[in-house]
Amino acid sequence: MTDTDITKESSAQAGPLEFLVPYNAMPERLDKVLARLIPEHSRSRLQGWIEAGHVLVNGQPGRIRQMTNPGDKLLVQEQTPPEAQSFVPEDIAFQVIQESPDWIVVNKPAGLVTHPGAGNWSGTLLNGLLYRYPELATVARAGIVHRLDKDTSGLLVVARHEKAQTQLIRQLQARTVSREYCALVHGVLNRSGSVELPIGRDARVPVRMSVEHPVAPKPAITHYTPVRTGLLDDMHVTEVTCRLETGRTHQIRVHMASLRHALVADTLYGGKALGGATRQMLHARALSFDDYGSGQRVSFMAALAEDFQQVMDGVAWST
C-alpha cells in the first residue's frame, strides 16, 4: 500500500480526520498506516492516541496491532501534544522572598517541578510564574536560569528580562552565584571536604545520575561541612552544609552518596526514609548574586520547609 492508496475524506481542522482504505489495499497494522498518513506526528504519539480511544476503525476503538482491511473507515481525533500547553499560565502556589525590576527570588516548595518536561507538562513553577508575572512570557524559559529538583525545597532566582537573564547565566558560568544547602545525611560525617567527581546520566539506570558509570559526564564540585550529628530512628545522621560551585542534575545527592552518606529519604541513591521523611532531606537555604541594576551583592535566606524541620526536630542531637 503506497502513500496514495488511502484517500482522505475530510480534513476539517476542528473535526476528526477521516480516511478510507481502498478496496485493492493489502492489510497492514493500524499504527503503521497512521504513521504514514499523518507524518507530522510520531508513531509513539499515534499509538498513544489509539490506546486512549481517539482512533476509530469502522466506528469502533482501534488497537495498535489491529490490521486494517480494504474498505475500512478510519477516524482520527487529533490531540494537542502536552508540550504545546507547557507554557500556559497556571495559579500555582509558591513564595516570593523578594523581587526587583530585574529579578524574582522564589522559595520553591518541595513537590513542585521547576520547569515543564516529560511527564510534567503543566503544574510547574514556570506555569505559576507566567500566571503571576505575565511579562515573563517574553523571556526565554520564563526567566528561569537554574533549577531545583522536584523534591528539593528552597531558593532560586528568576530573571525578569533578557539582559538580567544573560547576566545571571554568566554569573552561574563564572561560579560567582553562591548557593548553600542544608542536607540531612546518613551516618557520622566528621570532617569537611570537597567532592570533585564528574557527573553524567547513569548508563544502567536512566533516571539516575552517576559518578561511577556516567554518560557524557560534566565537571561537578561540591563543598561540604558537617554541622552536628545525632540519632534518628536509632540510626546515625549528620546535618551537613553543602555549597555548590557547579549545578549538575542531582549533584549534592550523587556526591554525598558517593561518600557513602546518602541523603535521608533519598531512595533513588540509597537513602532510607527515617523520622517520617517523605522526600530527600535537602533544602536550598542561602542564595547570593550580583544585582543587575546596582552591581551590588544581594543575599537571601529561607528557613527550612515545615516537613524538613519536623524531621530535624525528631533527631536526638549529640554534637
Residues with catalytic roles: 149
Whole-angstrom distance, CA of residue 308 vs CA of residue 181: 13
Radius of gyration from C-alpha coordinates of the chain: 25
DSSP state of 120: B
How far is 285 from 269, CA to CA, in rounded Å?
A: 22
What grid cell was written down for 111? 513537590
What is the distance between the alpha carbons of residues 74 and 292, in angstroms, rounded to a whole number?
A: 57
CA gap 172, 278 in Å, rounded: 30
The grid cell for 83 is: 508540550
**What is the C-alpha to C-alpha distance for residues 265 and 279, in angstroms, rounded to an integer?**
5
Q: Give the separation between CA 314 and CA 312, rounded to whole angstroms.
A: 5
C-alpha cell at 59: 466506528
Residue 22 makes CB contacts below 8 A (sequence gap 6+) with 5, 6, 7, 70
Q: What is the C-alpha separation between 278 and 259, in angstroms, rounded?
A: 22
Burial bucket for residue 76 (CB in 10 Å: 0-12, 13-18, 19+): buried
**Cα(43)–Cα(273) distance, integer angstroms:** 40
Contacts of 26 (CB under 8 A, 6+ apart): 1
Smallest CA-to-CA distance from 19 within 43, 42, 36 is with 36
d(CA 243, CA 245): 7
Which amino acid is it at 296? Answer: Q
Report which of 290, 266, 129 is spatially closest to residue 185, judged by C-alpha positions: 266
